[in-house]
Structure 1
Amino acid sequence: MSDSHTAGAKPWVKPLLEFGPLILFFAVFMLWRNDTVAVFGQAYGGFMLATLVFVPVQTIATLIQWRLTGKLAPMQVATLVLVVVFGGATLWLNDPRFFKIKPTIIYLLFAAILGTSLVLRRNWLGAVLSEALPMDAAGWRKLTARMAVFFLGLALLNELVWRTMSETSWVWFKTFGLPVLIFVFLMGNAGLFKAHALPAGDAKDG
């Protein structure tokens, strides 16, 4: 069932589900950032209104991905849980700090998981990504170490931005800065992917 759904999906569906909620968050914030809107008797500024829209849309998008593919990556599940928890706390307490700290928690969690896999000598990253990126064991160890440090750096950077810069600056950073940094990181590791790639026959056998 999942294979037929995935094969029949349009090529734009996956990026729309992954980036659509974030772009919608950005759009709502920019449109209402200087206004106050009453929702169910509660006065919300633009940031809170954008969060109110983002949480259910992100939840629906994740459920649609699960429906189309029949599975979700552990990082997708962890991200959704934190979105609901910290987004809910933000709205319940009408305090944007909870939502701003969410990326910090997510990236610290990822860094901790990857660091633990290195200490235990387990290839957890490869178990998740080996189909899309077949590499040898040495390649996965190097990539795991680099990603652990990278996620730790993103967590620290997010803290620096939201604590020292304006709310609008953080929204720009969250919407565009973080994805660009992740893209640059992946491109910067293209040499590692190539150097440790498995031969086509071994990749299929694995």
Structure 2
Amino acid sequence: MADTTDTNTQDTAEKKVNPWLRAALEYGPIIAFFVGYMLVRDMSFTVGGREYQGFLAVTAGFIPLQAICTFLLWRVTGKISAIQIATVVLVAVMGGISIWLNDERFIKMKPTILYVFFFLILMFGILRGQSYIKMIMDHTVPMSDEGWMIITKRLAMFFAVLAVLNEVVWRTMSTDMWVNFKTFGLPLAIFVFFMTQSGVFQKYGTDEDKADA
């Protein structure tokens, strides 16, 4: 009876929401950023006597949009992850600094800081013999502790690589290239990473859900 109650509690912890609505709230801001940038990248805007290029103008709109969509996602699902909170905070801080100093470099550094943060958090857990990824995904993807530690170690290294890659792209390539990399390259890389880990999920996966049923 206790196991059933725990399972039911976990099932109701997050409200069911239309997957299209979830996708729109999660990916809408970055898509809007890309579209907005493509429309105004060659334009400049004067606000308060200061001239801002199109990239920073779009950044100014992206900050509240990201915050609003994250808030709405929390309202419709009933929960919010630490990753989402960290993303919103960094967007607000780094985007705000970019606009304040009229310097686009700071918002371009945001992915680097975010991925380094994830790397450090995961490594801290690994050193303590814990998988923080398991805490987030275990109910969705049942797997043994050994499997979760393998995924966690690989993901930590993957985040480190992404941080370095972002630094290389924004420091050596054009803003157009960085925007394309941020909009399409990073999400694709994360998707490919998890696809290539399917063998680990299959090898170390458990049948806890079937046993409970």
TM-score normalised by L of structure 1 = 0.93
| Structure 2 CA distance for aligned equivalents of residues 4 and 151 of structure 1 | 28
Pick aligned residue for 2:146 from 138, 143, 159: 138
SS of the aligned residue for 1:87 comes to: helix
Pick aligned residue for 1:51 from 59, 62, 81: 59
| Structure 2 CA distance for aligned equivalents of residues 106 and 204 of structure 1 | 37
2:171 alignment counterpart:
163
Instruction: Point out where structure 2 has 5 or more consecutive residues left out of the alignment.
Output: 1-11
| Structure 1 CA distance for aligned equivalents of residues 13 and 157 of structure 2 | 38
| Structure 1 CA distance for aligned equivalents of residues 49 and 211 of structure 2 | 57
| Structure 2 CA distance for aligned equivalents of residues 35 and 204 of structure 1 | 59
* More displaced 10-residue stretch of structure 1: 120-129 or 134-143: 120-129
Displacement, 1:133?
A: 1.4
Specify the code of the residue in structure 1 equivalent to 2:146. A
The Cα RMSD (Å) is 1.8
| Structure 2 CA distance for aligned equivalents of residues 204 and 129 of structure 1 | 18
Structure showing greater Rg: 2
Displacement, 1:202?
A: 6.8
Specify the code of the residue in structure 1 equivalent to 2:21. V
| Structure 2 CA distance for aligned equivalents of residues 28 and 37 of structure 1 | 14
Displacement, 1:81?
A: 0.8
Contact residue 134 and residue 203 of structure 1 kept, 8 A: no
1:92 alignment counterpart:
100
Matched, 1:149 2:177: no
Instruction: Summarize deviations over 1:58-117 as a string: whole Å, max 9, x none.
Output: 000000011112211111111111111101111111110100000000000001111111
Pick aligned residue for 1:29 from 27, 37, 43: 37
Matched, 1:12 2:20: yes
Seq. identity, %: 44
SS of the aligned residue for 2:94 comes to: helix
Instruction: Summarize deviations over 1:29-69 as a string: whole Å, max 9, x none.
Output: 11111111234543221110110111000000000011112
Specify the code of the residue in structure 1 equivalent to 2:15. T
Specify the code of the residue in structure 1 equivalent to 2:195. M
| Structure 1 CA distance for aligned equivalents of residues 212 and 180 of structure 2 | 41
| Structure 2 CA distance for aligned equivalents of residues 191 and 5 of structure 1 | 28
* Count of paired positions: 202
* More displaced 10-residue stretch of structure 1: 20-29 or 37-46: 37-46
TM-score normalised by L of structure 2 = 0.90
